[in-house]
Structure 1
Amino acid sequence: MILAVALLLLGAFAAVAAPRLLSRGDWAEREPVVALWAWQCAVAAVLMSCALAMVFSAATAWQVVRGHVFAPAPHGVVEAYALGAGGSWAGWLAALLALGGVWTGAMLTREVWRAHVRHRHRRAELLLRAPLLPGEEPSGERLVVLEGARPEAWWLPGTAPQLVVTTAALRRLKGRQLDAVLAHEQGHARARHDWLLHCSSALANGFPQVPVFAAFRDEMHRLVELAADDTASRRYGRLTIALALVELNEDRGAFGPCPTAEAQVPARIRRLLEPAPRFSAARRLRLTATAALVPAVPLLVAFVPGLRALG
C-alpha cells in the first residue's frame, strides 16, 4: 500500500512540475518537435504512475490479482512488497483508479468517434461541392479546389488525405506560397498530429480538474503548428510560409487588437521572421533521451523493492 501511495505522489509531482518545467524559456519554440516529445513523456509518466498504483493496490487487496502479478516472482520478492498491509483502503483505491482508467478509455473513444463523424460529414460536404469526375479514383492524395470568397486551406485526414484550398486562397497565395501551405499541411498528416490532438483533448475533457492535461492540450495545439511551420520552412523558406500565413489570415482579425481563434498567428509569423538559433544535434539528442527517461521513473520506483530483495 505504501508503494501505491508513493506512486500516486510521484504522479502528482509530475503533474504539477511538468507544466512549469516545460514552459520555461523559449526552448519549445526553438525545438517544437522535441517539446512535443517531452510533453508526451511527461503525461505518460503521470498515467504510468496511476496505472502502477492501481496494480499494486489491487494486488494488496485481492489475492487473485496478487497471484497473477507476482506469479513468476520468487517468494522473497513478494515479501519485500509487504502486500498484506493495506486493509480495505487498498481495494477502494484500486477500484477508484480502475474507474479512472475506464473513464480515460471512454473519453478517448468518444473523442475519436466525434472526430470520425466530423471527418465523414466534411468529406460528404466536400464530395457534394467538388464531385469526382468520370473515371476519377477517390483514393490517393489530391488537391481539391473549392469556390469560396474566404481564403482557406486545410488538410482533411483519413485513408485518402486531401488538401482543400479555396479559390480565394489561390488568388492570394503567390509564387511558392501554395507549395509552402501544402508542405505545412503534409507535415501535420505525416506526423499524425491529429492523433496527438485527439488524445490531449480526451484527457483534458475527461479530467478538467487536472491542470497538466489542460496544459498538454493547449501546448499540443500550439506546438503542432510550429512543427508544421518548420517542415514547410525547411523546403520553401521561412519568409515564404510567413507571407502565406499573412495572406490566409489577413481578413480573420488575427492581426487586430481583439483576440480571435487565430491569435497565435502573429506569434508564429514573428517566430518565422526572427528565428532563434536551433539547438545543436547533440543537445537535441540529450533532451530527447532525458524526456524518454521520465516515464521510466515510475517503473524504477515500482521495481525497487523487488530489486533489493534479489540483490
Structure 2
Amino acid sequence: MALHRRRLLELCGTTAVAGLAGCLGDSIPGGNGNGDDPEYEYVTDGTVDYPEMVDGAASVTTEEIVNIEYEDPEASFGLQPIYEGETASDDQLLVQRDLSGETMAAFIGPVHTGEGFEFHVFANEAFIEFGDWNVLTGSSQSIDDHENPGFEQLEGPVYGMVLSPGEVDLLAVVDVSAEDIQNEGGESATGIAILSGSMGSEPEATVPQVSFGFDHDIDAEQLTVQHEGGDNVEASQLRFEADTETTVESDFAGTVSAGDTATLSVPSDATVRIVWTSTEEDHSATLAKWQGPDA
C-alpha cells in the first residue's frame, strides 16, 4: 500500500464525524456558469498558471506526487490522485496544471488570503463528467461532508471552484461521502485530495488493519465483538465508544488476535465504535463500527 494512500486513509478513518470551522467559498470569479465564452485571467490554452495566481509566493514540484511549498507563510501541501481507493496511475487521473487533455485531470492551488488558505480547485471536462463530486474536509480528529458549491466553466476545457474550509489537514473532492469513508475506509473513492504538511516522511503511526465481527442478542441487549482477522493489536490500544449508555462486561486483554472476543451490554438503538490509539497517544482511528437495529 502506498505511503500517501496510507496517510490519506488514516486521516479519513478517524474517531468521529463532526463539523469543522470555516465554510465553503464562492465559485471562482470569471466563470459565468453557463458556458457562454467564459474567460479566466489565469488560464491559457487549457493550462492554469498557478504561480502567477499567487505572485510567485508558491513553488510547484513534481516527484512521486505534486508538492506545493510556501515560504511566507511557511507551509507545504501535497496533492494526491485517487482512483478506486488506490493512488491513481497516469492513464486514470492526472494531477497537473495542464487540463487540456482527454484523460481525467485536476489541480488544487492553495492561495493565502492574509487570514488563511483558500483552495482553488481546477478540473477538466473528463473529471467533471466522471461522477457526482463531494467535498470533504478533515483534521486529525474528524472528517466531514461539505456542500459542494459546484464547478463553473472558466475557459475552454477548464472548470473551477473555490473552497475556504478554515484550518484543516485534508481537503478532498471525491465521489464518496464522509460516511462511506468511515464505513469502508475509502476503498472505492476516486478524486483528488490536498494534504497539508510534508508528504515525504513516514507517517507517525500506521493504523492496524483488523476485521471485527459483531453478534447482537437483542433480547439480552448483549453485543459480542470478535477479532476475525488481520493484524494483531494490543488491548491497551483499543477502546469502545458509544452514543448511549454502554457497559463493557468482558473486555479484550493482552495481544488481541483472531478469535478473541469482548462482550458489551448495549441497547438496540446504540452505535458502538472500536477506536485504536497509537502508543504515543497522538493518533487515533476507528477500526470498526456497529449500529443497532433501532439506531
- TM bin (shorter chain): under 0.3
Larger Rg: 1
* Structure with greater strand share of residues: 2
In the superposition, the TM-score normalised over structure 2's length comes to 0.24
Higher relative helix content: 1
Structure with more contact order per residue of length (Cα contacts < 8 Å, sep ≥ 6): 1
